Homo-oligomer: A and B are copies of this chain.
Amino acid sequence: MNIQIKADEMTATERDMANALRFLSMDAVQKANSGHPGMPMGMADVAAVLFNRFIKIDPSSPDWPDRDRFVLSAGHGSMLQYAIHHLLGYADMDIEAIRNFRQLGSATAGHPEYGHALGIETTTGPLGQGIATAVGMAIAEEMLAARFGDLVDHHTYVIAGDGCLQEGISHEAIDLAGHLGLGKLIVLWDDNSISIDGATSLSTSMDQKARFTAAGWHVQAVDGHDPEAIGAAIDSARKSKKPSLIACKTVIGFGAPNKQGTHNVHGAPLGADEIAAARKHLGWAHEPFVVPASIRAAWANVAERGRQAHLNWRVRKAASGVATEFDTAIDRSLPASLASALSDFRTEHFDKKTKVATRKASQMALDVINRVVGNTVGGSADLTGSNLTQTATTASIRPGDFSGRYIHYGIREHLMAAAMNGLALHGGFIPYGGTFLVFSDYARGGIRLSALMKQCVIYVLTHDSIGLGEDGPTHQPVEHLAMLRATPNLNVFRPADIIETAECWELALQDEERPSVLALSRQDLPMLREASSRENLSARGAYLLHAPEGERDITLIATGSEVEIVREAARKLEDAGIRAVVVSMPSWEKFEAQDPTYRHAVLGGAPRIAVEAAGRLGWDRYIGETGSFIGMPGFGASGPAAQLYAHFGITAQHVADEARRLLGRK
């Protein structure tokens, strides 16, 4: 009972601050009858020290650009963050929100979700994403600091669990972070030796400290329940020029006397008896959801320190002489000159009838974009010369020099996706990055989070079909367009020529609420547009690329490199007196957003054939029950591209034959 009196009437200790997190977590999980108490209880002391002594955030202004970024990579421990936010006074995190943990509509979702509650810097839960996203945030900090000096000076703190460190993406993340020397990235590892199946010794013998050292990190190990040791370690980490790992040896479920230190506290409520025992064990006599005033005051001090820091920063910014430039950089809105620059680009290449691969067209468009838009950040997962993602104005960043705007992500597609999320979330940059379309497989976990978090992240996915040729089926995407189109809130663009490529780039950049994929060809494609237009026709998703006079007999629909093929088929059919409309359909999502009248006008009432060098899944929506699909029946093969198209029957002749068959005109 002594401890309770102390907590009520005296200045709260960091242990008291931590215990408040523990009981809010225990009680919320118990009330929800769902959730993960073990991590919040184990890491409460670390969190209390981190926030009490170091973290620079202003809960009344959660988006202040120079705040520290706090990433709960072990997202299942969401109650830790919600409890902290409650005690710091975030507007949406009153005690009712805590009491409604994991209930529909509550800010306290099962895992921390960006945009769903204030101050959540990134969505976590899928393990390893947080630490990798944090790498992107830390890169953004360095890059902004290279541009604006001491107006930008904040840390990225990550709490990561054993799961985060086992996931492969963690390797990609720590390798690049160590290479770039991201000294303001500090990872606090909840080293509790427990995972869901039991002891981590069931599945790993990794010496994590040696592993991080090998990656070029500054590594320390502390007792995660010793506030002074934790504080000293964070202090030392902040001084290091290298990214830091602090291995915090903790007891999972610390404070639950009968269950702590076992996997039984990981992902299920403790039960009323064990919570009562924890109250006794930790000397916490308060009712559920009650936190004594002295502890609330201690947490309020943290918020007040942040408010002051924010105020000081605003004064410094006002005096900096670059306030306008800074705001422009943070504001991701596009310069007005972009539209006309891209329109000029389209006019020029319409006139020249430029025939290039759409990956090359993309680079040409990017060259214009990167000159006009100052805050794009390019990159590639070690396929720069294939994805054609670097342009004249995008020098590469490198250790110690973050003035550039191009990132060699290495052979790390998953990290690239997550780091781009971090760059976008941090603010100040519009990231795009390249790999082969087929290797979107490796990046899936990050792409999904781009979509879920509504971030403008642009994936430049080249070599988008059997048209890549000899590399064979391991490199030839077949199911990937469907996989991406099935992903909610993701634009999938597959432009047919240089004009559409520029249009799709513009649409991708304009969409502040959605990531985009640009699926681009390896092989050259002719300019197909029949009339020059200031209007961005790709914005409609699909449009009549070619429409002969009179009633149409058949509609040929295609995307990307197959539009050329159906255009040629239409020519053959017209020679035979059959009027074929050609629909280019660079984006299903944009087309679905059109009104039914437009959609019907495009698709028409005549029989339809869709042609795409990919699987059929999804195309039935556009061809209807009587139409045909010509594409890939299965995996591809290794051989020259033209032979592969012939082999799989994706040819103008086959399309024309199929049209005649459908029309009964053999």
Kindly provide the distance from the CB of A141 to the nearest chain B CB, expressed in whole angstroms: 19
List B contacts of A449 (CB < 8 A).
Answer: 474
Q: Does chain B have a CB within 8 A of A582?
A: no
Among candidates B104, B166, B386, B470, residue contacting A110 with C-beta atoms closer than 8 Å = B470
Kindly provide the distance from the CB of A437 to the nearest chain B CB, expressed in whole angstroms: 13
Q: Mark A607-623, 1 if CB is under 8 A from B, else 0.
A: 00000000101101100
Among candidates B195, B216, B473, residue contacting A410 with C-beta atoms closer than 8 Å = B195
* Residue picked from A75, A168, A415, most chain B C-beta under 10 Å: A168
Q: Does chain B have a CB within 8 A of A478?
A: yes
Given A105-B639, A166-B175, A488-B478, the answer on whether A617 and B618 have CB atoms closer than 8 Å is: yes
CA A168 to CA B473, docked complex, whole Å: 22
CA A474 to CA B73, docked complex, whole Å: 13
A195 engages B635 (CB within 8 Å): no
A203 engages B408 (CB within 8 Å): yes
Q: Does chain B have a CB within 8 A of A380?
A: yes
List B contacts of A475 (CB < 8 A).
Answer: 110-111, 125-126
Chain A contacts with B in 460-498, Cβ cutoff 8 A: 469-475, 478-479, 482-483, 485-489
B638 engages A382 (CB within 8 Å): no
* Residue picked from A166, A178, A216, most chain B C-beta under 10 Å: A166
Given A111-B472, A113-B474, A474-B113, the answer on whether A647 and B104 have CB atoms closer than 8 Å is: yes
Chain A contacts with B in 398-452, Cβ cutoff 8 A: 398-399, 408-412, 414-415, 438-439, 441-442, 444-445, 448-449, 451-452
CA A386 to CA B203, docked complex, whole Å: 17
A479 engages B472 (CB within 8 Å): no
Among candidates B167, B168, B206, B633, residue contacting A178 with C-beta atoms closer than 8 Å = B206
A206 engages B175 (CB within 8 Å): yes
CA A643 to CA B412, docked complex, whole Å: 39
List B contacts of A213 (CB < 8 A).
Answer: 210, 214
Q: Which residue of the partner chain B has the closest CB to A205?
A: B179
B637 engages A104 (CB within 8 Å): yes
CA A486 to CA B634, docked complex, whole Å: 10
Among candidates B444, B478, B488, B625, residue contacting A624 with C-beta atoms closer than 8 Å = B625
Q: Mark A79-122, 1 if CB is under 8 A from B, else 0.
A: 00000000000000000000000111110011101000000000
Kindly provide the distance from the CB of A456 to the nearest chain B CB, expressed in whole angstroms: 17
Chain A contacts with B in 370-405, Cβ cutoff 8 A: 380, 382-386, 396, 398-399
List B contacts of A106 (CB < 8 A).
Answer: 638
Given A474-B126, A479-B483, the answer on whether A412 and B166 have CB atoms closer than 8 Å is: yes
Among candidates B198, B202, B474, B482, residue contacting A124 with C-beta atoms closer than 8 Å = B474
A488 engages B111 (CB within 8 Å): no
Q: Which residue of the partner chain B has the closest CB to A447?
A: B441
Given A203-B179, A211-B215, A474-B123, the answer on whether A196 and B489 have CB atoms closer than 8 Å is: no
Q: Does chain B have a CB within 8 A of A163?
A: yes
List B contacts of A442 (CB < 8 A).
Answer: 126, 167-168, 444-445
Q: Does chain B have a CB within 8 A of A294?
A: no
List B contacts of A482 (CB < 8 A).
Answer: 482-483, 486, 617-618
List B contacts of A469 (CB < 8 A).
Answer: 34
Number of interface residues, chain A, beta carbon within 8 A: 108
Chain A contacts with B in 152-188, Cβ cutoff 8 A: 162-163, 166-172, 175-176, 178-179
CA A489 to CA B634, docked complex, whole Å: 7
List B contacts of A385 (CB < 8 A).
Answer: 196-197
Q: Does chain B have a CB within 8 A of A42?
A: no
A448 engages B452 (CB within 8 Å): no
Kindly provide the distance from the CB of A466 to the nearest chain B CB, expressed in whole angstroms: 11
Q: Does chain B have a CB within 8 A of A35?
A: yes
List B contacts of A204 (CB < 8 A).
Answer: 175-176, 179, 410
* Residue picked from A126, A196, A411, most chain B C-beta under 10 Å: A411
A110 engages B488 (CB within 8 Å): no
CA A157 to CA B124, docked complex, whole Å: 37
Kindly provide the distance from the CB of A170 to the nearest chain B CB, expressed in whole angstroms: 7
Q: Does chain B have a CB within 8 A of A640?
A: yes
Kindly provide the distance from the CB of A490 to the nearest chain B CB, expressed in whole angstroms: 9
CA A490 to CA B640, docked complex, whole Å: 27
Given A167-B411, A442-B167, A448-B441, the answer on whether A382 and B639 have CB atoms closer than 8 Å is: no
CA A211 to CA B172, docked complex, whole Å: 13
Chain A contacts with B in 49-103, Cβ cutoff 8 A: 75, 102-103
A216 engages B210 (CB within 8 Å): no
CA A198 to CA B472, docked complex, whole Å: 24
Q: Which residues of A come within 8 Å of B, CB atoms? A: 32, 34-35, 75, 102-106, 109-111, 113, 123-127, 162-163, 166-172, 175-176, 178-179, 195-198, 202-208, 210-211, 213-216, 380, 382-386, 396, 398-399, 408-412, 414-415, 438-439, 441-442, 444-445, 448-449, 451-452, 469-475, 478-479, 482-483, 485-489, 615, 617-618, 620-621, 624-625, 632-635, 637-640, 643-644, 647
21 pairs of residues in contact across A and B, judged by CB atoms under 8 Å: A102-B639, A104-B639, A104-B640, A111-B474, A113-B638, A126-B441, A126-B474, A168-B442, A176-B204, A178-B205, A196-B383, A205-B399, A206-B216, A448-B479, A452-B635, A478-B486, A479-B488, A482-B486, A483-B483, A489-B635, A624-B624
Taking A104-B637, A206-B216 as given, write out 13 further A-B residue pairs in contact, using a Cβ cutoff of 8 Å, ordered by the A residue number.
A104-B643, A109-B638, A111-B638, A168-B170, A168-B171, A175-B205, A176-B203, A178-B206, A197-B383, A202-B398, A203-B412, A211-B211, A211-B214
Pairs of residues from A and B, 10 with the lowest C-beta to C-beta distance, nearest first: A168-B168, A104-B639, A171-B171, A203-B410, A125-B474, A210-B214, A482-B486, A479-B486, A109-B638, A620-B621
